[in-house]
Structure 1
Amino acid sequence: MASILNPEIPAGAYDEFLPGALPAARAQHAWTPADGPLPALYISHGAPPLFDDGPWLRELFGWAQSLPKPKSVLIVSAHWEAAPPALSASAAHTPLVYDFGGFHRRYYTMRYDTPDASALARRVAAMMPDREPVHQHRSRGLDHGAWVPLMAMYPLADIPVLQLSLPSHDPDLLLRLGARLAPLREEGVLVIGSGFMTHGLPFVTPEMIHKGVVPAWSSEFDAWAADALARGDVGELAAYRTRAPGMPYAHPTVDHYIPLFITLGAGGRADQPVTTVIEGYMIGFSKRSFQTPA
């Protein structure tokens, strides 16, 4: 049976998506200072199956189209944990990181050749405290937590993109790091935390894959997070290990949840309610994605 996990044509939905998306992407209004600061985003990013999910591709693209086209993108992904904070290679056309396994060979040949991001790298490095200099890699490209959703949002690949590592699991430290990055929003930089609102990979069942069953540990965690986000209750969100229902099944590792603290910090005021833009489930995982007030 054809599905996003076993498509008849790998990335066929992406092939169908592009002809309609590219003209709209070319016509998108480019950010100017008159637009004011951009919001910060938290994206549930998917993996190669996103390229086989037409509705999800269009949701992400529509979200990007609802905003001015950023001058550049700074993204923190669940898939690169390194301390102290490090930056990906800023050179144009740096090869991607294909950090996934077991998929059709086509997904390992996909390209996202973004322009030089050295100006953004210098800006971000200058924002870090002197006692915590940021390491700038010469060869590490974007991992799939960055390039997969961005290929849907900005398919022209004409925006400089830089990835910042996830340096800690401490919500307070990540909020502070996000707050340090907040001024970038006033310069037309889109700051993104990329994870997945629930990500219980070890607990995926055939029913979740083939019948669309959403387990209670996923739906209950999602409802808890949605309520806290809507109230701007960052203290509740930070206490997820003991307060959130569905733990630890919803997040046996926390790397896909905690990028939201970068987003909340970068939004300017972490206690402000956010706007959910995408919700629903993929193989039982919550796709909840949101933006902070601009």
Structure 2
Amino acid sequence: MNTPSAAERMPALYLSHGAPPLADDALWPGQLAAWSASLPRPRAILMVSAHWEEAPLALGATEATPLIHDFWGFPERYYRVRYDAPGAPGLADSVRKLLRGAGTPVQDVPDRGLDHGAYVPLVEMFPDADIPVLQVSIPTLDPQKLMEIGRRLAPLRDEGVLIVGSGFFTHNLAALRYAGVPGWSAEFDDWGRAALAAADVDALLDFEHKAPAGQLAHPRTEHFAPLFVTLGAAEGELAAGRSVIDGFWMGLAKRSVQFG
């Protein structure tokens, strides 16, 4: 991959990715599209989705591979969605070098297509599917270790790579609501907004204990985990981070943030 000028350095993102019905929402697709329109055009996209937990860290397909429709009980049209983005073998090579050089094992899963945590937001943000995409797994839920992975991947930003942590700012599917916002979701979202604005990494790292309703907001932490990869990749710029999307969807906080 050629190194662009400093002006082309890509930001690092954490986004709430939504479920397949996001495409039918009156507001959210437009918010994602407006966000991507404000970004420099990436040379490639590195996706870290909450829906792929595998250790050691795994690299997904680097050539055309069918999507993974990893959801059940939805109308048939959601299973017909396609996102035929080019693979990113050069990016995969760069990831291997950066992580293996730091003593982090890396494996390849060449038949693993993009899951909905990756393609659902990409369909709205880059609908032409003409930017190479590589998805990598979450090898651990330990926030400190995920931040270190993000630090190791940070140089890719200077090569025009958009690093995206894809999760959900609050995620408790047992407590979904079709109307209204539960108090625990609003409280956690407000706490997280303030912690991000203050660049309080220590509080974020210990969110399960320091955040109000942390256990309700994330009964499992896989949807908050990608944030820490993003924070690691953006270290040194955290004070300049900003929330680009906020609000709620079915009671869950869809806060999404940009650094750089």
Specify the code of the residue in structure 1 equivalent to 2:208: R
Deviation at 1:32, TM superposition (A): 4.8
Distance 2:239 2:26 in 1: 32
TM superposition outliers: structure 1 runs of 4+ over 3 Å = none
Distance 1:161 1:32 in 2: 18
5+ residue gaps, structure 2, are: none
The corresponding residue for 1:41 is: 13
Distance 1:279 1:111 in 2: 27
1:228 aligned onto 2:195: yes
Distance 1:279 1:32 in 2: 32
The corresponding residue for 1:288 is: 255
The corresponding residue for 2:51 is: 79
**% identical equivalent positions:** 51
Distance 1:81 1:95 in 2: 19
5+ residue gaps, structure 1, are: 1-30
Deviation at 1:109, TM superposition (A): 1.1
SS at match of 2:27: helix
1:132 aligned onto 2:99: no
The corresponding residue for 2:32 is: 60
The corresponding residue for 2:121 is: 149
Deviation at 1:272, TM superposition (A): 2.7
Specify the code of the residue in structure 1 equivalent to 2:90: A
The corresponding residue for 2:90 is: 119
Distance 1:37 1:290 in 2: 17
Specify the code of the residue in structure 2 equivalent to 1:241: E
1:236-281 deviations in Å (ceiling 9; x for gaps): 0111111111121111111101110000101132753410000000
Specify the code of the residue in structure 2 equivalent to 1:280: G
Tell me the matched-pair count: 257
> Is the CA contact (8 Å cut-off) linking 1:232 and 1:270 kept in structure 2?
no
Distance 1:271 1:140 in 2: 32
Specify the code of the residue in structure 1 equivalent to 2:131: I
Query: What pairs up with 1:89-128 in 2 under 5 angstroms?
Result: 89-91=61-63, 93-128=64-99
Pick from 183, 188, 197 the counterpart of residue 155 of structure 2: 183
Deviation at 1:34, TM superposition (A): 5.1
Distance 2:192 2:240 in 1: 12
Distance 1:230 1:244 in 2: 15
> Is the CA contact (8 Å cut-off) linking 2:46 and 2:161 kept in structure 1?
yes
Deviation at 1:137, TM superposition (A): 1.1
Distance 2:12 2:6 in 1: 18
Specify the code of the residue in structure 2 equivalent to 1:95: P
> Is the CA contact (8 Å cut-off) linking 2:6 and 2:158 kept in structure 1?
no
Q: What's the TM-score, normalizing by structure 1?
A: 0.85
Deviation at 1:54, TM superposition (A): 3.3
> Is the CA contact (8 Å cut-off) linking 2:8 and 2:40 kept in structure 1?
no
The corresponding residue for 2:235 is: 268
Deviation at 1:145, TM superposition (A): 0.2
> Is the CA contact (8 Å cut-off) linking 1:231 and 1:273 kept in structure 2?
no
- Root-mean-square deviation (CA, aligned residues, Å) is 1.4
> Is the CA contact (8 Å cut-off) linking 2:15 and 2:256 kept in structure 1?
yes
Distance 2:82 2:28 in 1: 20
Query: What pairs up with 1:238-249 in 2 under 5 angstroms?
Result: 238-249=205-216
1:171-204 deviations in Å (ceiling 9; x for gaps): 1111100000100001100000000000111122
Deviation at 1:98, TM superposition (A): 0.4
The corresponding residue for 1:257 is: 224
1:80-100 deviations in Å (ceiling 9; x for gaps): 011111010101x21100001
Deviation at 1:136, TM superposition (A): 1.1
1:69 aligned onto 2:41: yes
Largest Rg, 1 or 2: 1
1:93-113 deviations in Å (ceiling 9; x for gaps): 211000011101111111000
Greater RCO structure (CA 8 Å; 6+ sep): 2
